[in-house]
Structure 1
Amino acid sequence: MKLNNQLGITCLMVIAIVVFTLNNNRNNTYLRSPETAIMPVATATVDMTRPLPITSVQTCPRKSLPQIRQLKINKSQSGEDFVLLRWFNGLCQGTFIELGALDGIKFSNSYLFEFALQWQGLLVEITPPSFAALQKNRPNNVLVHAGVCEQRQTIHYYNSTANKTAVPGIVEFASQQFRQRWWPDLKADWSNSVEMECIPLQEIIEEHYLPAIKLKQHIHNGTSRVATATNEAVHFDFLSLDVEGAEDQVLRSIDFDKVSFGIVLLEADDYNELKNLAVRVFLESKGYLFLKSEQRSYWFVHRQFDQIYRHVLHQ
């Protein structure tokens, strides 16, 4: 009997400690996903004095996945748009950035959101033929033909004709294994590549996206919660990166004091695990929680996602 009493007291103490810990963590260091699961945040310190990012999304009628499938507008290569939809279904007029936008349709992670939920954003593509098609297919967005680098510089663009699958990219940022696999006809001196200008994403946002949004607001003489000045913080609901090994260059070209994202998804580098690790450490240092690795994509969420979208997610 004495042993049973002691065990009972011990169990009660353990339960009390667990309940206290969960409540304390829930209030301070945990984030709710749309499915209300509790997930630990990254270890980076949050600057609580910094204003919370402001999203432009508004609530609208939710559509079931079967309904959306019937529309036949999901274009992602591996269902990434449906994963994003789990976070943003029922939210209209959001914003996105998609780098490696191709023609705006093939493998697009943003196409569904533009045509099902009236989202708009910034689409960047380096390949000349793809960009020409992008201009026809997605004219309601801000479209930029450029490579993206940490520092403005001249780079070498290449798209091999030796493979059935075209995999264009920037020679400087591609590993030797990648070049051998996808660009076997690239000359040793790169003389059959094309020189192009490479621009930091921050410059593209400030010099192309924000002025275009400001002009659009002026034309429609309306109001918007999207930032319109270069010294003003701007929030995009998701960032999609598929730039064939230059993901770290793109991320380091962003001023995270001015630009934020609800969700970040990027293609992992199959040929450089150290680069993948560096990208993960970098984003976690900026306040983004690593969610998962799936179908060669790494997924991150803003550690204050629940607070940013509380006014629309919990209506």
Structure 2
Amino acid sequence: MAHPIPLRRRLTRQVKDTLKDLRGPLAYRQTAYGQEAEDLLLMRMLDPKRVGFYVEVGSHHPIRFSNTYNFYRRGWRGLCIDPVPGLVRRFARWRPRDIALELGIAESAGSLTFHLFNEPALNTFSPELAAERDGRNNWAIVERRTVPVQPLAAVLAQHLPADVQAIDFMSIDVEGMDLQVLRSNDWTRYRPRIVVTECLDSRMSNWPTDPVVQFMAQQQYFPVAKAIHSVFFQRDSDALGG
């Protein structure tokens, strides 16, 4: 036997539907800030209405190309890391709940040469990738500077807030150095539910031999989705929601 829907609930739904009709296509728009809409895929995998915690290595900018800004707008907070000059200042202005760190991530503590481009999204520690991109598509290296680097595990141990029980997702986009960042984590201690990382050759046919995919499989993470260059890994003990 069907139960009648209360009048107030019916009226509320009708008003919402009417407002959507008045707004037209704008009512159904979804805003993505990630370069390949990674944030929309992450919201499909996770519950954005629940307040959670993220770690972003290769934050680049608080808003532009950000895989985490959509979550920040919904009340989330996180740890955002990138050696790009001015990162801490920009995050303090636009995302004050986040912890922003102006440093690089590597397998060993020390310092590395950071290649800065006229397109900041291309900044990289990889000398090979920097040389390959320099002069292509009007891209150019504008500066090289030595910056401090630390393993990800050490950074998390020092800067992860005491009240954070778990990392919901980790986003890594460091232009050719993603595997080194992954290797620098302590996967027995820090195990996000979802890890999204850049694989410059992310063709699914190459996954069986891809070093990033192989490494993540050793940590009991397996690919569940992909964008153009980004691959999403799920912790083996979890099942994605419908």
TM-score range, shorter chain: 0.7 to 0.9
Match of 2:59, SS state, is coil
The answer to whether the aligner puts 1:198 opposite 2:156 as a matched pair is no
Rounded Cα–Cα distance in structure 1 between residues aligned with 2:217 and 2:137: 31
Aligned in 2, Cα 1:91/1:100: closer, same or farther, shift over 3 Å? same
Aligned in 2, Cα 1:127/1:305: closer, same or farther, shift over 3 Å? same
Q: CA deviation at 1:141?
A: 1.1
Moved more, 145-154 or 133-142: 133-142
Rounded Cα–Cα distance in structure 2 between residues aligned with 1:150 and 1:179: 26
Q: CA deviation at 1:68?
A: 8.1
Aligned in 2, Cα 1:149/1:91: closer, same or farther, shift over 3 Å? same
Partner of 2:80: 123
Rounded Cα–Cα distance in structure 2 between residues aligned with 1:201 and 1:193: 23
Q: CA deviation at 1:249?
A: 0.9
The answer to whether the aligner puts 1:252 opposite 2:183 as a matched pair is yes
Return the TM-score normalized by structure 2.
0.76
Partner of 1:302: 235
Greater RCO, 1 or 2 (C-alpha within 8 Å, sep 6+): 1
Q: CA deviation at 1:160?
A: 2.5
Structure 1 residues 172-224: Cα deviation after superposition (integer angstroms, max 9, x where no partner): 4736534564897559xxxx510111111111111122xxx23xxxxxxxxx5
Rounded Cα–Cα distance in structure 1 between residues aligned with 2:128 and 2:192: 24
Match of 1:249, SS state, is helix
Partner of 1:86: 44
Aligned in 2, Cα 1:279/1:173: closer, same or farther, shift over 3 Å? farther
Indicate if the aligned counterparts of 1:155 and 1:171 stay in contact, CA closer than 8 A: no
Rounded Cα–Cα distance in structure 2 between residues aligned with 1:103 and 1:185: 19
Rounded Cα–Cα distance in structure 2 between residues aligned with 1:247 and 1:68: 35
Partner of 2:104: 147
Aligned in 2, Cα 1:68/1:134: closer, same or farther, shift over 3 Å? farther
Partner of 1:174: 129
Rounded Cα–Cα distance in structure 2 between residues aligned with 1:197 and 1:68: 44
Q: CA deviation at 1:269?
A: 2.2
Q: Over aligned residue pairs, what C-alpha RMSD do you find? A: 3.0
Indicate if the aligned counterparts of 1:101 and 1:108 stay in contact, CA closer than 8 A: yes
Q: CA deviation at 1:294?
A: 2.1
Rounded Cα–Cα distance in structure 1 between residues aligned with 2:47 and 2:145: 41
User: How do 1:82-121 and structure 2 match up within 5 A?
Assistant: 82-89=40-47, 91-116=49-74, 118-121=75-78
| Regions of 4+ moved over 2 Å | 66-70, 129-132, 171-187
**Identical aligned pairs, as a percentage?**
24
Partner of 2:194: 263
Return the TM-score normalized by structure 1.
0.60
Match of 1:136, SS state, is helix
- The number of residues matched between the two structures is 213
The amino acid across from 1:203 in the alignment is A
Rounded Cα–Cα distance in structure 1 between residues aligned with 2:61 and 2:111: 24
Structure 1, unaligned runs of 5 or more: 1-65, 215-223, 228-234
Indicate if the aligned counterparts of 1:103 and 1:130 stay in contact, CA closer than 8 A: yes
Partner of 1:281: 214
Structure 1 residues 31-77: Cα deviation after superposition (integer angstroms, max 9, x where no partner): xxxxxxxxxxxxxxxxxxxxxxxxxxxxxxxxxxx86847x5x3112
Structure 2, unaligned runs of 5 or more: 1-25
Rounded Cα–Cα distance in structure 2 between residues aligned with 1:292 and 1:93: 23
Indicate if the aligned counterparts of 1:124 and 1:143 stay in contact, CA closer than 8 A: yes
